[in-house]
A and B are shown apart, each in its own frame.
Chain A
Amino acid sequence: MRLSVIDTEKCVGCELCMFACSRRFGEGGLEKSHIWVRSIGGFERGFRVIVCRACNDPPCAKVCPTDALTIREGGGVMLTASKCIGCGNCRDACIIGAVFWDEKNNKPMICIHCGICAEYCPHGVIVLQEKEK
């Protein structure tokens, strides 16, 4: 299963997805969000939703020098934090900007496609679904 952004035109910019992602860690706020909603250029133009789209052959994993990122079954990658040296190659390799950074620990924040963001999206903008082959 992986996340899909179905229709950004329906996104109202409430950021409940971002809060839901951060809440996985048992706290409020947005520091730990692995998904990012931002306006296209003012609220009047609508929003973009930036989240890992579980690439086939993910570039982030390919550039990891320590094999800290490995392919996840069903889509996406998994981080073995103990192997990660915080070089930031993965962040640079993701051209949609979906590898977020944990400044305190100097490690990437990698979406695990758990779908909690989709559960809290009031308008069905994001869903968790089977990855198309």
Chain B
Amino acid sequence: MDMISRVLYIDLTNRRYSIKERPDLFEKYIGGSGAGSALLLEECPQGVDPLSKDNPIIFAVGPLNGVFPIASKTVAMFKSPHTGDLGESHCGGRTSVAIRLAGFGAIVIKGKSDIPVYISIHGGKVFFKDATTLWGLGNNATVGRIIREREEGSGFRTIMRIGKAGENLVTYANVSAESFRHFGRLGLGAVFGSKLLKAIVVYGNESVPVIDSKLYRETYDEIFNAAVHSTVMKKYHDLGTPMNVLPLNEIGALPTRNLQNGKFEGSDKVSGENYLEHYLGRRVACAHCPVSCIHIAALREPYDDEPYFYKTSMISYDYEPIYALGTMLGIDNPEGLLKLLDKVEAFGIDAISTGVVLAWATEAFKKELISEKETLGLKLQFGDQTTYMEAIKHIAERSNDFYLNLGKGAENASKIYGGSEFALTYNKNEIAGYHTGPAYHLGMILGARHSHLDNAGYSIDQKVLTKQALSEEELANMIIEEESWRNVLSSLVICFFAREIYTLDVVKKTLKIMGLDKTEQEILEIGRQIYMNKFKFKLREGFSFDKLNFPERIFETPTPLGNLDRKFMFGVLNIIKETVLENLSNPS
């Protein structure tokens, strides 16, 4: 195998590093999620405090990164400060190409620095640099700008950094890369913050050998042509992910005002179509992806205090942030919503969790579970964008105990102030934007990292359940199969948007070109093992299927498939529980 099997171990406490060859990991688990979860089981001590020095940060890429198109993602693994169990997050930008072409398959960071630092990885060496002056900067973009000018390697590097929310240990703080991409959800930013690690720059421009150059070029062209000339990537290409807004609204699956409704009367204004027509200012791509799904709005605003002065901000917009900070908060002003997106970007805080947390807080305020005493005078109200701007700042800066509690998630806050029936979380993680039917909610609660992308239950709702009913066993099997397969893709590491291109035979062929000769059956089995390894970690850290619960709200608001059937949902949950526990007690 090539340099994919090299793992870089960094010790922040002693400012040392070492490189080890770990072909065992990459031959057995491919890379990405597979190698990353195996490393997490090795490196993370049982029961460790996620914000202590012993929680490792693991970045893992796969054999296809830097070699095939749309293999553009890096997987981060850590113990999540948000959920207390598995922390897994995927990011594009230039992260994966830079890490892979720096000659590493994975990077493991442990320990804690005594002063703020940033790390620069360059030419096979690790440099520890003083980041004291970067600590506390108000806007995450400034951090990127300063490091960009201090470090070499433009075009061949990634700059991953945290904002104030990460420094302040908000448990859903992000790590941002290349201005607009993120290791979102589950709080990797807080883990960085707890180690006084402000940023990591990785530079890489090496070449990667392949087994058969001719077959490599042919296979590359097949994938490239499918990505560019077929329709499978069209939806990401044209309107980008916000193309979901109107269709989901149409069927009544667009969570609105804390999921009190599945339709939003202002959906036209925050739709992908409206942003395209009035605001789209530029499109950009992750490295090695021809799709360029990253849509950036240009927002021109006057300065209130000085006439004839304007600023133009470039703000990335996607479906999930539009859902969380838009429809969930009843915001129908497209410019106001862009400002909210810009705000969470500046603080480096997860857009989905922030929106869902604020939606809970707004309802709790209305129901008088909390008052202006808690909110520091803010009258939280659906549709009031300026008040939400203030609230986001308070969360990121942990202005008082209430905002500190909000900064640990909606489930945490609802345990303190009440209102758990409308706190939209699964295993403490805030829900994403699809009220499509039972499979979405089951997929999210049963996903190993509780992400809507784990197994895409919303796709089962829309493509299968609209046409036919499924038994509990059938739905459970579909969720397990899809999630197992996605663990293969996230070990390569492919962007899930390209899942229709990277079919099993394409995956088999590309792996062979990289020197990993596996049968289709073996590949599928690896996916299942990775899925089980994640549950192994979760269960070790206190996760329990029996503690999972659905917030009452999801049963109150009908989905396009009707009201959710509680008995059916618990039935599916139970089957997956038994399958996972049986697999873990009898590993094949």
Instruction: List residues of A whose CB falls within 8 A of some B CB.
Output: 12-16, 18-19, 22-23, 25-33, 36-39, 41-46, 120, 122-123
B585 within 8 A of A: no
**Does the CB pair B155–A37 fall under 8 Å?**
yes
**Does the CB pair B208–A122 fall under 8 Å?**
no
- For the complex formed, measure the closest distance between the CB of B174 and the CB atoms of chain A, giving whole angstroms: 16
B285 within 8 A of A: yes
Given A25-B207, A26-B213, A29-B205, check contact A14 B289 (CB 8 Å).
yes
B351 within 8 A of A: no
**Does the CB pair B206–A14 fall under 8 Å?**
no
Q: Which of A26, A30, A39, A45 contacts B216 (CB 8 A)?
A: A26
Question: Which B33-90 residues sit within 8 Å CB-CB of chain A?
Answer: 66-69
**Does the CB pair A122–B207 fall under 8 Å?**
no
**Does the CB pair A31–B207 fall under 8 Å?**
yes
CA distance A126 to B297 in the complex (A): 25
Q: Which of B141, B208, B290, B292 contacts A29 (CB 8 A)?
A: B208
B28 within 8 A of A: no
B296 within 8 A of A: yes
- For the complex formed, measure the closest distance between the CB of A100 and the CB atoms of chain B, giving whole angstroms: 10
B300 within 8 A of A: no
Question: Which B175-214 residues sit within 8 Å CB-CB of chain A?
Answer: 178-180, 205-210, 213
| 27 A-B pairs with C-beta separation under 8 A | A12-B284, A12-B285, A13-B285, A14-B288, A15-B97, A15-B155, A16-B288, A16-B290, A22-B207, A29-B66, A29-B205, A29-B208, A30-B101, A30-B205, A30-B206, A31-B205, A31-B206, A31-B207, A32-B207, A37-B155, A38-B155, A39-B154, A39-B155, A42-B141, A42-B145, A42-B148, A43-B294
Given A25-B207, A41-B145, check contact A14 B282 (CB 8 Å).
no
**Does the CB pair B148–A12 fall under 8 Å?**
no
Point out which of A30, A31, A36 has the most chain B C-beta atoms below 10 A from its C-beta: A30
**Does the CB pair B69–A30 fall under 8 Å?**
no
B144 within 8 A of A: yes
- For the complex formed, measure the closest distance between the CB of A87 and the CB atoms of chain B, giving whole angstroms: 23
- Give the chain A neighbours of B292 by CB distance below 8 A: 12, 14, 122-123
- Give the chain A neighbours of B155 by CB distance below 8 A: 15, 18, 36-39
**Which 7 residue pairs across A and B have the least CB separation, nearest first?**
A26-B213, A28-B67, A38-B155, A44-B314, A28-B208, A29-B207, A14-B285
**Does the CB pair A27–B284 fall under 8 Å?**
no
Given A29-B208, A36-B155, check contact A16 B180 (CB 8 Å).
no
B156 within 8 A of A: yes
Which residue on B lies nearest to A13, using beta carbons? B284
B402 within 8 A of A: no
Given A16-B69, A42-B144, A44-B314, check contact A27 B207 (CB 8 Å).
yes
- Give the chain A neighbours of B288 by CB distance below 8 A: 14-16, 19
CA distance A19 to B205 in the complex (A): 11
**Does the CB pair B145–A14 fall under 8 Å?**
no
Interface magnitude class on chain B: 35 or more
**Does the CB pair A26–B210 fall under 8 Å?**
yes
**Does the CB pair B284–A43 fall under 8 Å?**
yes
B532 within 8 A of A: no
B497 within 8 A of A: no
- Give the chain B neighbours of A15 by CB distance below 8 A: 97, 155, 287-288
Q: Which of A14, A23, A32, A43 contacts B220 (CB 8 A)?
A: A23
B501 within 8 A of A: no
Instruction: List residues of B whose CB falls within 8 A of some A CB.
Output: 66-69, 97, 100-101, 141, 144-145, 148, 154-156, 178-180, 205-210, 213, 216-217, 220, 224, 228, 282-290, 292, 294, 296, 314
**Does the CB pair B205–A122 fall under 8 Å?**
no
**Does the CB pair A30–B66 fall under 8 Å?**
yes
CA distance A12 to B178 in the complex (A): 13
- Give the chain B neighbours of A33 by CB distance below 8 A: 205
- Give the chain A neighbours of B286 by CB distance below 8 A: 14
- Give the chain A neighbours of B69 by CB distance below 8 A: 16, 19
**Does the CB pair B206–A29 fall under 8 Å?**
yes
CA distance A39 to B159 in the complex (A): 13
Q: Which of B67, B180, B213, B287 contacts A14 (CB 8 A)?
A: B287
CA distance A26 to B209 in the complex (A): 8
CA distance A32 to B282 in the complex (A): 29
CA distance A89 to B67 in the complex (A): 32
- Give the chain B neighbours of A26 by CB distance below 8 A: 210, 213, 216-217
Which residue on B lies nearest to A27, using beta carbons? B207
Which residue on A lies nearest to B221, using beta carbons? A120
- Give the chain B neighbours of A32 by CB distance below 8 A: 207
Given A16-B288, A31-B207, check contact A122 B228 (CB 8 Å).
yes
- For the complex formed, measure the closest distance between the CB of B260 and the CB atoms of chain A, giving whole angstroms: 36
- Give the chain B neighbours of A36 by CB distance below 8 A: 155
Kindly list 4 other residue pairs between chains A and B, CB separation below 8 angstroms, not including A15-B287, A27-B210, A39-B155. Answer: A12-B283, A13-B287, A18-B155, A38-B154
CA distance A123 to B289 in the complex (A): 12
Which residue on A lies nearest to B315, using beta carbons? A44
Which residue on B lies nearest to A50, using beta carbons? B155
- Give the chain A neighbours of B97 by CB distance below 8 A: 15, 30
**Does the CB pair B148–A41 fall under 8 Å?**
yes
Given A42-B144, A43-B284, check contact A30 B220 (CB 8 Å).
no
Which residue on A lies nearest to B314, using beta carbons? A44
CA distance A13 to B156 in the complex (A): 11
CA distance A28 to B289 in the complex (A): 14
- For the complex formed, measure the closest distance between the CB of B179 and the CB atoms of chain A, giving whole angstroms: 5
- Give the chain B neighbours of A14 by CB distance below 8 A: 285-290, 292
CA distance A90 to B347 in the complex (A): 46
**Does the CB pair A28–B210 fall under 8 Å?**
yes
